[in-house]
Amino acid sequence: MIRRSAALLATLVLAAGLAACTRSTATAEGPSRQERVRQAFQRLGTEIAAKDGLPTGPTGYLRAGMNTLPSGTELTLWVSDPGDPVKARSRCFYLDEQHRDGVVSGYTGCGVPGREVSLSGDTATLVGSTGTWGATAVKIEGNGTSTEVPVTAGYFLVPSTFTKEVDVPLTLTLLDEAKVLGTVTELMPPGSAVPQPPSLGAQ
């Protein structure tokens, strides 16, 4: 049972420049969340090895965020571990979705980091990427509120507070500890833009 349309996959590819994006679903009798994550990164490692001409691909991963939607769906974001002994140009994420009725689903995406910051997803979920900026946190502003979320290996999960309404632009401020690295003003998700350094003001 797929909860969101194939249009989500298209927006992921367009917004984040992903090299691969796949969706999977299962019932409550299927693999556990831990096993789903392991299988996702095993598959991604195989795909990266073939793409980059490596004998083996990276399979290490880290948890990058958790969120619960108003519907009760639990989201957990997992990302490539930069400490993996296999070094590849691409990095990947897997977003696991566990619905209240027991149905589970998830999607994966990979891309080569660049200078653009991106938001990928649909009206229910947004995954952010900070590219090569080296941010440790992102301040998110929009929809009449603001919050700061951690960045793990270049990815962050946008809280559901910012995904309740469609067509709401978000302002993203990249932080390294207390230092502002750059800001993207009123980015309409899904989408991407190059942050402007503090000295240049808002874009």
**Does any domain span residue 78?**
yes
Q: Read off the pLDDT of residues 90-143 as tens digits, 9 standing for 90 and up.
A: 999 999 999 998 889 888 889 999 999 999 887 678 999 999 999 999 999 998
Number of domains in the chain: 1
**Does any domain span residue 1?**
no
Helices marked H in the chain — which ranges?
7-16, 33-52
**Does any domain span residue 2?**
no
**Does any domain span residue 163?**
yes
Q: Which of 128, 170, 180, 133 is nearest to 149 (CA)?
A: 128
Whether pTM exceeds 0.95: no
**Low pLDDT (below 50) residues in the chain:** 1-21, 201-203
> Domain range for residue 63?
7-198
**Does any domain span residue 129?**
yes
